[in-house]
Amino acid sequence: MNTDEESDDFIVTPWEVEGEIDYSKLIKKFGTTPITPEMVSRIKKLTNGDLHYMIRRGLVISHRDLDWILNKYESGEKFALYTGRGPSENTHIGHLIPWQFTKWLQDKFDADLYFQLTDDEKFLLKLENSYQETTRLAYENATDVLALGFNPEKTHFIIDSEAGVKFRKIATEISKKITFSTIKGIFGFTESTNIGMIYHPAIQAAPCFYPSVLKGRNVPILIPAGIDQDPYWRATRDVAKRLGYYKPAAIHLQFTPGLEEGGKMSASKPESTIFTTDSSKLAEKKVKRAFTGGRDTIEEQKRLGGQPEKCNVFAWYRSSFESDDSLLDKRWNDCKSGTLMCGPCKQELADRVVIFLETHQAKRQELKEKVAELVIRE
């Protein structure tokens, strides 16, 4: 689908992320607010000096109304978090990035989390997708969410195909206030888009107001997610006031690249992606084939140094597999100076990925039955 987010060298839409993304350009285009050093200091103060490494490293890039929601928090009005997943496939490591950040927010701000699984969206998106399969995957993906250690007392799943009457009613109310022309402008829908997809923005907007309906009072909502989802919040924020709710606030993260050259990690490129269900052997094989910033020969690498700035293996350490800043800096310097070669650097990443997968898969096994208990049944 082509949308108004298209530019010469990159595309970012909720369904497609391609090319070398210039985030400053994207932030301008989307009209979001960059995360400034002042904002970072403010968050740091509220979290007793403990900043998540994704904030420290600039992986959290922009927001909408974060200052407003922090004002609310400081005046004693707690916010809830909302994020989600379109269950078209098993979860991959890229999806975990906004969810790990969300878990940190849940812990630091003692917030309830509403997590939507849009099995209906993924059924509607592609002709070949079966509804039964996307619903099955919704439960599978939700198990990955729980395996990250979210507080089960404060975590609530919304599975679209099983959502209740109150949820449907909000979506209908939202849809009444949004015209096709607006949605077409934001998402680039065409005459041949099926009408289910055209309605979907109302379904994805509904969890922004659902907690208010369930609690019987206005609840501020903060949405941590990849910046590709922002077009939804633009439409939702436009109708919030008219429906009597707060505008949702959002905080946006960058994408982690896949293992192969170019583009974000995406389920549509399985060789470039590690799924949480991959075997250790397969994961290791994928990491070892990764695109790096290495030179053509070892001699050259020793002489010229590597190029961590364009290395996907380094990007994986930065976003997921090295939380210690000084060790990350050391890896960068050792690469630049030609002391660290790509072989051992990849092997170490493969070992870390395998340890992560083994631990995560054991937790998934433990929590498999728990998801159903946390699905909202009105």
- The region that residue 244 occupies, defined by phi over 0 for left and psi between -120 and 50 for alpha, beta otherwise, is left
Q: Least distance to ligand TYM from the beta carbon of 349, Å?
A: 16
Q: Which residues bind ligand TYM (CB under 6 A)?
A: 14, 82-86, 94-95, 97-98, 116, 118, 121, 204, 223, 225-226, 228-229, 253, 255-256, 264-265
Q: Least distance to ligand TYM from the beta carbon of 232, Å?
A: 7
Q: Least distance to ligand TYM from the beta carbon of 168, Å?
A: 16
Q: Least distance to ligand TYM from the beta carbon of 335, Å?
A: 22
45 or 289, CB closer to ligand TYM?
Answer: 289
Q: Least distance to ligand TYM from the beta carbon of 270, Å?
A: 13
133 or 334, CB closer to ligand TYM?
Answer: 133
- The region that residue 361 occupies, defined by phi over 0 for left and psi between -120 and 50 for alpha, beta otherwise, is alpha
For residues 357 and 278, the answer to whether their CB atoms sit within 8 Å is yes
292 or 301, CB closer to ligand TYM?
Answer: 292
104 or 255, CB closer to ligand TYM?
Answer: 255
Q: Least distance to ligand TYM from the beta carbon of 302, Å?
A: 32
Q: Least distance to ligand TYM from the beta carbon of 15, Å?
A: 8
253 or 290, CB closer to ligand TYM?
Answer: 253
Residue type, 216: G
102 or 301, CB closer to ligand TYM?
Answer: 102
For residues 82 and 118, the answer to whether their CB atoms sit within 8 Å is no
60 or 340, CB closer to ligand TYM?
Answer: 60
Residue type, 376: I
Q: Least distance to ligand TYM from the beta carbon of 360, Å?
A: 16
Residue nearest to ligand TYM (CB): 226
254 or 301, CB closer to ligand TYM?
Answer: 254
Q: Least distance to ligand TYM from the beta carbon of 136, Å?
A: 15
The CA-based angle 238-58-305, given to 5 degrees, is 145
245 or 295, CB closer to ligand TYM?
Answer: 245
